[in-house]
Structure 1
Amino acid sequence: MIRAPLLALLTALAAAPLSAAAAPPTAAERTMTATVDAEQPRTVALLERLVNQNSGTQNLSGVRATCELIRPEFEALGFKVRWVQQDAVARAGHLVATHAGRKGAKRILLIGHLDTVFEPDSPFQKFERVDETHAKGPGVSDDKGGDVVMIAALRAMQAAGTLKKANIEVILTGDEEEAGLPISASRADLVAAGRRADVALDFEGLAREDGRDMGSVARRSAGNWTLTVTARSGHSSGVFSQFAGDGAIYELARILAAYRQELPQPNLTYNVGLVAGGATAALAPDGAHAEATGKTNIIPAQAIARGDLRALSGTQIAATVARMQAIAATSLNGTKAVFEFEDKYPPMAPTAGNRALLARLNGVNATLGLAAMGELDPLKRGAGDISFVAADVDSLAGLGPVSEGDHTPGETVDIPSIFTQAKRAALLMSRLAAEKP
């Protein structure tokens, strides 16, 4: 447990400007930074190979092929690598790599993913250099760019001799972009790894604000909700009457408007992503398509809306869901609404332990001559796999590269940020690995 005076110091360090008294790099740390620089062409070449192998979440063979491209990198560093098949949740599987170091030292969990949002039918398939400092391609940042940062950092540690004593477990999931269901099955190995670890580092992209690199000590949850309304139907000439009622679409609109007016809270969002209504309305099994029929002179009998809910704590999720259900329950005449919620990604709360990790990273920044990193606003970051372990272990996200256009055909990575992030990660992991839990 971190005591209040120490927490205040660590928080101040996390937000403090670069200190003139920063600890100079050790010989091992100088070797790590030199190794990252010397291996820049190798690192970019690995990124190109990974990006050119399609690994859309639904392309199970492509995700497995990406694993086979990256497996030798870990094996060459002395990791034992295994593949965790995920047939039961209709996903490819996860790469798990373990490195046994000094007994009694901190256990470090590294998290990334193999899959991308770009399936084989996407026109966006290949790695392409934009200029000397940028490249674009599917997953060039999210998260194949993060994976090569991780590997470059581990290679630098090996060159400096700090990897030998490090206790590290790596999990690269094969379905981060669209997790297999049930979540309890598809994330069982990750949750178990989090419970074994003393610290977790996530290699999704680094965020910037006003040109400043920011640390991610919190990520919001991600859950889906469905609102289904049924109503009496009839001739439109009777709409709003006591015997005919208001119809399903007006009731759906009332509920959605009430959500917008009554739910606002800090760090909470509740998007409406799909709406359908009419004489008939049906949601497709994939939850992403709907079909409706109707005429202007028929009071609609059915309406459906789907959306997501993102919050920063379990308490906030529970209170918001309860309020959404209560609003839906006060139905207009002749209508009935049913609200359902599916909790998927849990929140990563901004704990004292997470802030202490950011303070440690800022110590690395000082050694490297880099500016201190403040805390990123959690509204500016989506949900991620690290949230499944954050309740059990101190966690820090955003150790991957800087990018823009993620999840779009313009996804572009800032290449120099790959090397900066690899240096940060190598020094941070080496310092953590030398500590006791």
Structure 2
Amino acid sequence: MLLTIDQETAYYISVLEKTVNINSGTMNFEGVRRVGDVYITEFEKLGMETQWIDGAAFKRAGHVVARTHGTTGPRLLLIGHLDTVFEPESPFQSLVMVNDSIMKGPGVSDMKGGNVIILMALRALKEANLLHDMQIEVVLTGDEEHSGRPIELSKKALTDGAQRADIALAFENADGNPETLVVSRRGWTGWTLQVSGTPAHSSQVFTDGVGVGAIYEASRILNTFYQELTNEKNLTFNPGVIVGGTTTSYDSEQSQGTAFGKSNVVAQEAKVSGDLRAVSPEQLERAQKIMLRIASNNYPGTTAELTFSRAGYPPLPSTAGNQKLLHLYSTVSEDLGFGPVTAVDPRNAGAADISFTSGLVDMAVDGLGMSGAGAHTIHETGDLSKIPVQAKRAAVLMYRLANLY
């Protein structure tokens, strides 16, 4: 297996180059499909059954699924994604080599490099005559960076795969450090705060008949969120957009709004849009209850409504199974001479597709992908020298799981 990876690295780097140079911003459906076709061809070369799941029902391009039909070992779900944050209008469209090992390009580490590592690990297993006896399903989603709606349909390929699986392995790039692995990811949910006040001449602000206005009340709520919740470990709650005044409008799809008001008029409306990230369902529920209590204890002359989105990402809590899988992976790494691997602080791990396996598999980890830096920016890079390292770790891990699980 190790020899195969060394022999095939140059070829798979060429596959990486090809896919990085295809724009696959989430909303570029044609580009996402073209990248998917490249991977479908590669999976078919490995003798795997492949499927394109059309995304029309959830307003995205779609997903790639590839399967073996063996019976040996645990059922493994391997997770990647086809899309990037760089749409066709982005100035960042093609790769350049910074030096002999650092490739700069859109989606190189997030996560076309991870997809190539999946292919390399599976090729190594095939050359060792192991792949087709194993139970492996690969899901490469086409909307990880901007999920389709309804999210239940958008993520159905993932949740269906997780229900069939025992173990989930995701190939994001963790925190960019190949000596770490993600055993816990914080979930994400959106929230909206809508505040109403009593419009009046500003000379009457704070009077019994007028109260404080919508902007003051929105400020109170946000400040109290900060006062009561900032000491909660691994919890964040970010107000990303606020509009307020006499009249307001806000387009959640475009994340932009307008406001009209005057300095001598008490604000009638304020709206805040934000996100909430928690490391466990229990922490999420606790934070939501506190936020709802704060939003309901209104200043005079105001009312407020706080709502939470149902279309978020669930948390991936650290479980005994996830920790066991980290230990197995670290042992593989040490046995290969690459050193130990430790857990990423969940504060440094954002939401990702692996979270949709939460509670459905015995073990789940993320971060088996390509080392890199600058993800989601025009400075995104990937370290080509780490591709064979990551592929070897993944291949040997899957081999051992098949024989030891």
Q: Same fold (TM over 0.5)?
A: yes
1:412-434 Cα deviation digits (max 9, x unpaired):
00111111101100111111123
- Structure 2 length normalisation: TM-score? 0.97
Q: Which of 122, 129, 140 is matched with 2:90 structurally? A: 122
Letter in 2 for 1:249: I
The CA deviation at 1:162 is 2.2
SS at match of 2:10: helix
SS at match of 2:98: strand
1:235 equivalent to 2:201? Answer: yes
> Which residue of the partner structure matches residue 14 of structure 1?
none
Report if aligned partners of 2:102, 2:382 keep a CA contact under 8 Å in 1: yes
The CA distance in 1 between the partners of 2:257 and 2:370, in whole Å, is: 37
1:355-394 paired onto structure 2 within 5 Å: 355-393=323-361, 394=363
Structure 2: gaps (5+ residues): none
The CA distance in 2 between the partners of 1:287 and 1:249, in whole Å, is: 23
The CA distance in 1 between the partners of 2:347 and 2:292, in whole Å, is: 24
> Which residue of the partner structure matches residue 80 of structure 2?
112
Give the RMSD, CA atoms, in angstroms.
Answer: 1.2
The CA distance in 1 between the partners of 2:80 and 2:291, in whole Å, is: 34
> Which residue of the partner structure matches residue 413 of structure 1?
382
The CA distance in 2 between the partners of 1:206 and 1:422, in whole Å, is: 15
Report if aligned partners of 1:277, 1:302 keep a CA contact under 8 Å in 2: yes
The CA distance in 2 between the partners of 1:164 and 1:96, in whole Å, is: 16
The CA distance in 1 between the partners of 2:372 and 2:7, in whole Å, is: 23
Report if aligned partners of 2:195, 2:214 keep a CA contact under 8 Å in 1: yes
1:134 equivalent to 2:71? Answer: no
1:172 equivalent to 2:147? Answer: no
The 4+ residue runs of structure 1 with deviation greater than 2 A are: 206-209, 433-436
The CA deviation at 1:217 is 0.7
The CA distance in 2 between the partners of 1:227 and 1:146, in whole Å, is: 38
1:50 equivalent to 2:16? Answer: no
SS at match of 2:298: coil
1:148 equivalent to 2:116? Answer: yes
1:215 equivalent to 2:181? Answer: yes
The CA distance in 2 between the partners of 1:88 and 1:313, in whole Å, is: 30
1:203 equivalent to 2:171? Answer: yes
The CA distance in 1 between the partners of 2:385 and 2:121, in whole Å, is: 14
> Which residue of the partner structure matches residue 293 of structure 1?
260
The CA distance in 1 between the partners of 2:265 and 2:165, in whole Å, is: 60
The CA deviation at 1:243 is 1.3
1:163 equivalent to 2:131? Answer: yes
Question: Quick one: structure 1 residues 104 and 400, their matched pair in 2 at CA, closer, same or farther if it must change by over 3 Å?
Answer: closer
Report how many residues are paired: 402
The CA distance in 2 between the partners of 1:375 and 1:122, in whole Å, is: 34
1:201-223 Cα deviation digits (max 9, x unpaired):
000004356xx711211001011
SS at match of 2:306: strand
Report if aligned partners of 2:330, 2:342 keep a CA contact under 8 Å in 1: no
Structure 1: gaps (5+ residues): 1-31
Question: Quick one: structure 1 residues 287 and 303, their matched pair in 2 at CA, closer, same or farther if it must change by over 3 Å?
Answer: farther
1:52-91 paired onto structure 2 within 5 Å: 52-91=21-60
1:378-436 Cα deviation digits (max 9, x unpaired):
00110110110121111010000111100000000011111110110011111112345
- Structure 1 length normalisation: TM-score? 0.90
1:98-148 Cα deviation digits (max 9, x unpaired):
0112x2521110000000000010010001111001001110010101101
The CA deviation at 1:285 is 4.3
Report if aligned partners of 1:206, 1:213 keep a CA contact under 8 Å in 2: no
Q: Which of 191, 211, 225 is matched with 1:259 structurally? A: 225
Q: Which of 169, 184, 190 is matched with 2:152 structurally? A: 184
Q: Percent identity?
A: 45
The CA deviation at 1:377 is 0.6
Report if aligned partners of 2:72, 2:133 keep a CA contact under 8 Å in 1: no
Report if aligned partners of 1:163, 1:430 keep a CA contact under 8 Å in 2: no
1:431 equivalent to 2:397? Answer: no
The CA deviation at 1:234 is 0.9
SS at match of 2:61: strand
Judge which range, 348-357 or 149-158, deviates more.
149-158
Letter in 1 for 2:269: Q
Letter in 2 for 1:362: S
The CA distance in 1 between the partners of 2:165 and 2:332, in whole Å, is: 21
Letter in 1 for 2:47: G
Letter in 1 for 2:6: D
1:75-94 Cα deviation digits (max 9, x unpaired):
01011101111111111111
> Which residue of the partner structure matches residue 243 of structure 2?
276
The CA deviation at 1:287 is 5.5
